[in-house]
Amino acid sequence: MKQISVVGVGYVGLVTAACFSDLGNRVIALDVDEQRVSNLRKGVMPIYEPGLEELVERNVAAGRLTFTTSYEEALKGSEFVFICVGTPSGVEGEADLKYVEAAARTIAKTMTAPLIVINKSTVPVGTGDWVAEIIHEARPKPMDFWVVSCPEFLREGAAISDFMNPHRTVLGSTSREAADKVAQLHLPLRSPIVITDLRTAEMIKYASNAFLATKISFINEIADVCESLGADVKEVAAGMGFDARIGKYFLDAGLGYGGSCFPKDVKALAYMAEDMGLEPQILNAVMRVNGVRRMMIVDKVRDLMGGISGKTVGILGLAFKPNTDDMRDAPSIDIAKALIEGGATVRAFDPVAMEVAKGEMPKVEMMPDAYAVAKDADALIIVTEWNEFKHLDLERIRDSMREAVLLDGRNIYQPEQIKDLGFRYRGVGRGYNGSADSHIKTEVKVQPNAV
């Protein structure tokens, strides 16, 4: 059992604190936001993450997890401190490190014993060295400390599972001994642990996110070609995914990526490259392809409705992805804005994110469920693929709409099934643009002796 401090109790920090305490460590989680800390002490979560409330409650009750706004209280007796503060995009796309600097400086001034400082926030390559300089200068007196990079690979909506079952743990440091101590914290997770230098660890994080974003922009470009040539991108992706070198994940065509990570991390990596005088051609293409996906769906709904002004459009799903309330860079924000600017009335439903979404889209009427959104609507758009939208009573939906127009931004339906119900349906890359082409259902025959 070790004592660990976590600075920054957001999507990453709170999951990190709760999971390390669940592994049996004593964890003190700090945040500068007093309201957030006060709510957590009352068992009120600042974010929606499946399973998090119960995990926090159990470990607080066991006395392994506490929350504070005091750095003294947080660091006293701790051997490790994880920095999990926000690293938002700056004006030119570079990562804004003011919060990391504030945390590092305060840690330096407050520490009273040797400390391993671990960067979990996504930070540009070279930040580990920079944090070490800050601590070295800000310490009131010489005291041993070591900096380790331990990037997070948590998907929102699956963060606890991703923490407890990581594909790998990446650790970078100038001190092998410090890295080994942090590795010890992760041994119960029984996953591969990559130990390398600071800059390599920091780059592994950016390169991983940028590659996943590249897969998404790649399949979205293929989707556009599929629509022109009459192929079904969903089946194309399935056929591709059997190749282990390609893999079946992150090949879902649709509205492209949003959230607080991919957009900012791809931008930051491109910025780092350009800052070194390089031209990140692929990264720039990934961002360009992703940048047009949202308006593509608005164009489709305009085509199918014969215009936007005076129409009523329903949006199903607001969060940037399912199983989260996170609205950061959510496609729904841009889509709702464009529809409203085009003169449409917009109604929406999201199972979890409506409270957060209200602030981002004040003119959108929030409805109690999907059926209320569909009533008297001229079109319905699936923006976030929540499971509950996959088995709606589509006949009831169709009969309650003014026009049976369905835009499936995340390809959760089968085109021929929807067209047979009498909808005018458009997906993303699902055969010819809106044609009623006969859709041969792809079969997968696994030969008995297939390996």
Report residue 332: phi and psi, to 5°.
Answer: -60, -30
Supply the minimum distance, in Å, between the C-beta of residue 87 and ligand UDX: 5
Considering only CA atoms, give the Rg of the chain: 24
Supply the minimum distance, in Å, between the C-beta of residue 175 and ligand UDX: 23
Specify the stretch interacting with ligand UDX by CB under 6 A; choose among 110-118, 142-150, 256-264, 391-399. Answer: 256-264
382 close to 388: Cβ distance less than 8 angstroms: no
Among 84, 198, 297, 370, interactor with ligand UDX by CB under 6 A: 84
Contact between 313 and ligand UDX by CB under 6 A: the answer reads no
Contact between 16 and ligand UDX by CB under 6 A: the answer reads no
Considering the complex, state which of residue 69 and residue 414 has its C-beta at the smaller distance from ligand UDX. Answer: 69
Among 48, 71, 146, 153, interactor with ligand UDX by CB under 6 A: 153
Give the bridge partners for 424, in sequence order.
405
Contact between 409 and ligand UDX by CB under 6 A: the answer reads no
Binding mask 94-133 for ligand UDX (x = CB under 6 A): -----x--xx-----------------xx-----------
Supply the minimum distance, in Å, between the C-beta of residue 445 and ligand UDX: 25
Supply the minimum distance, in Å, between the C-beta of residue 144 and ligand UDX: 24
CA dihedral of residues 328, 331, 333, 337 (deg, nearest 10): 150
Annotated catalytic residue 261 = yes
Among 130, 262, 271, 413, interactor with ligand UDX by CB under 6 A: 262
Of residues 23 through 82, those in contact with ligand UDX by CB under 6 A are 31-33, 36
The first and second tokens of residue 354, run together, are: 């409506």
The first and second tokens of residue 6, run together, are: 């976590």
Of residues 161 through 220, those in contact with ligand UDX by CB under 6 A are 209, 212, 216
Helix (H, G, I), strand (E, B) or coil at 362: coil
Specify the stretch interacting with ligand UDX by CB under 6 A; choose among 146-154, 187-195, 271-279, 421-429. Answer: 146-154
The first and second tokens of residue 92, run together, are: 């030119």
CA–CA dist 221, 217 (Å, integer): 6
Considering the complex, state which of residue 30 and residue 344 has its C-beta at the smaller distance from ligand UDX. Answer: 30
CB atoms within 10 A of CB 21: 25
Considering the complex, state which of residue 186 and residue 311 has its C-beta at the smaller distance from ligand UDX. Answer: 186
Distances in whole angstroms, Cα of residue 90 to Cα of each of 96, 98, 213, 326, 370:
5, 10, 20, 20, 37
Contact between 257 and ligand UDX by CB under 6 A: the answer reads yes
Report residue 424: phi and psi, to 5°.
Answer: -90, 110
CA–CA dist 180, 142 (Å, integer): 23
Supply the minimum distance, in Å, between the C-beta of residue 75 and ligand UDX: 13
The first and second tokens of residue 326, run together, are: 């996170």
Q: Which residue's CB atom is positioned nearest to ligand UDX?
A: 10
User: Per this entry, what is the length of the chain?
Assistant: 451
Tell me the pairing of strands 169-173 and 193-196. Answer: parallel
CB atoms within 10 A of CB 228: 10
Considering the complex, state which of residue 105 and residue 424 has its C-beta at the smaller distance from ligand UDX. Answer: 105
Supply the minimum distance, in Å, between the C-beta of residue 162 and ligand UDX: 7
Q: Which of 423, 383, 379 is nearest to 402 (CA)?
A: 379
Give the bridge partners for 345, in sequence order.
312
Supply the minimum distance, in Å, between the C-beta of residue 340 and ligand UDX: 22
Report residue 326: phi and psi, to 5°.
Answer: -70, 125
**Cα of 363 vs its chain's centroid, Å:** 25
Among 4, 9, 296, 407, interactor with ligand UDX by CB under 6 A: 9
Contact between 11 and ligand UDX by CB under 6 A: the answer reads yes
Considering the complex, state which of residue 33 and residue 274 has its C-beta at the smaller distance from ligand UDX. Answer: 33
Supply the minimum distance, in Å, between the C-beta of residue 204 and ligand UDX: 11
Residues 277-307, buried b or exposed e (16+ Cβ, 10 A)? eeebeebeebbebbeebbebbbebbbebbee
Query: Given the rule CB under 6 A, which residues bind ligand UDX?
Result: 7-13, 31-33, 36, 84-87, 99, 102-103, 121-122, 152-156, 209, 212, 216, 250-252, 254, 256-262, 320-321
Which residues are catalytically annotated? 261
